[in-house]
Amino acid sequence: MSPMSPRLLRPTQNQHPEAADWANRVRTNGGTVSGSTLLAVSRFCRAIDAAGIRDLFYRMGIFAGSNLNAALVPLYRGPSLGGTQYGNTTETNTNFVSGDYSESVGLATQLSATKHLNTGLAPDAIPAGVYQSMHLAAWHGTTGSAETDPVLIGAHNGATDRWSLGTTVRTASAQPDSIKLGKTTSLNSTTTIQGAKPAAFLLGTRSSATSLTMYRNGVADGVSATSTTGIAASSFPFFVFRNNLTGTVSGDNPGFSLRMYSIGDDMTGTQVANFHTALSALNTALGRT
């Protein structure tokens, strides 16, 4: 009897436990994950672990997998796989259809004013020490050029308790991106762009009750802003692609896609840069240019 080929005796590359768990949840939700995508997500999870930032995430969506059902399954739902999980098991979908999603692009709004996702996670559901020093992040594709102020992710109790990440599109003037985290005025990016915005990774982080910093593509982009009256958490869950304004959908839509979003604890500049590097490698592996 001929000996078995050494190639067949070698184990396949181990899947990262959290990537494998995500893939199982995708299948439960009616989606599938290709071998190449599972490998890319495993590598991403390992990069996050190596950077020492895994426990900073309370929720992260990567909009990956075979179909819309797959894209609606978040990768992370808490600071650890075995610990407390936050928000909905899957994103609650309002009006997105299968044609709005492809793995090489992400999930796109297609100029609809009604399409959004509900994470089920409100700022006041996050431990108090975290929501006072937290981050919001999203990687958007190229926006349309309509005169709008799109919100990428947001949850507002009203005029004062504001938690959102967005941008501004104007054809007549160059406009910034902006972040709000708690009772504070918006912190705008130094970079301003006229008309359609190119794809970018935006992250705003509050390192204390009085400090807020904006990052664009992994680099600090904006002078730190200070809180005016302290921080109170919104009881309304975060919407993605829109703002949840006291239970009502708000925010404009020039037409854009998202490749990911995250909600979690605050980050240092080095941690943001490492996060951006890991996401860039994931985007490349998924064909997102």
CATH topology of domain 14-285: Jelly Rolls (2.60.120)
| The token pair that represents 19 in the structure block | 């990537």
Which of 192, 191, 190, 185 is CA-nearest to residue 206? 185
Q: In this structure, what token pair is assigned to residue 189?
A: 């990016």
pLDDT of res. 9:
33
Annotated domain spans of the chain = 14-285
The DSSP symbol for 99 reads: G
User: Which residue's structure tokens are 């050494």?
Assistant: 6
Sorting pLDDT into bands at 50, 70 and 90, what band is 113? Answer: confident
Q: Tell me the pLDDT tens digit for each residue of 143-190.
A: 988 888 889 999 988 767 788 999 999 999 999 999 988 777 778 899
Question: How does residue 254 score in pLDDT terms, banded at 50, 70 and 90?
Answer: low
Q: Provide φ and ψ at 81, rounded to 5°.
A: -65, -40
pLDDT band at 128 (very low <50, low <70, confident <90, very high): confident
Across the chain, the runs of DSSP E, i.e. the strands, are: 57-61, 92-94, 101-102, 106-108, 116-118, 134-140, 151-156, 162-167, 174-175, 177-182, 187-188, 193-194, 200-208, 211-216, 219-220, 239-240, 243-245, 248-250, 257-265
Contact between 120 and 243 (Cβ < 8 Å):
no
d(CA 272, CA 49): 14
Amino acid 231: pLDDT: 66
How far apart, in whole angstroms, are the C-alpha atoms of residue 251 and residue 115? 11
Percent of the chain with pLDDT over 90: 68
Is 250's pLDDT higher than 70?
yes
Residues 51 and 278: beta-carbon distance below 8 Å? yes
Confidence at 262, pLDDT banded by 50, 70, 90: very high
| pTM score over 0.85 | yes
Task: Write down the pLDDT at residue 230.
Answer: 57
**Any idea which of 23-37, 197-211, 215-229 has the lowest mean pLDDT?**
215-229
Whether residue 215 is predicted with pLDDT greater than 70 in this model: the reply is yes
AA letter at 283: N
Instruction: Find the range with the poorest average confidence among 11-15, 39-43, 92-96.
Output: 11-15
Residue 139 has pLDDT above 70, yes or no: yes
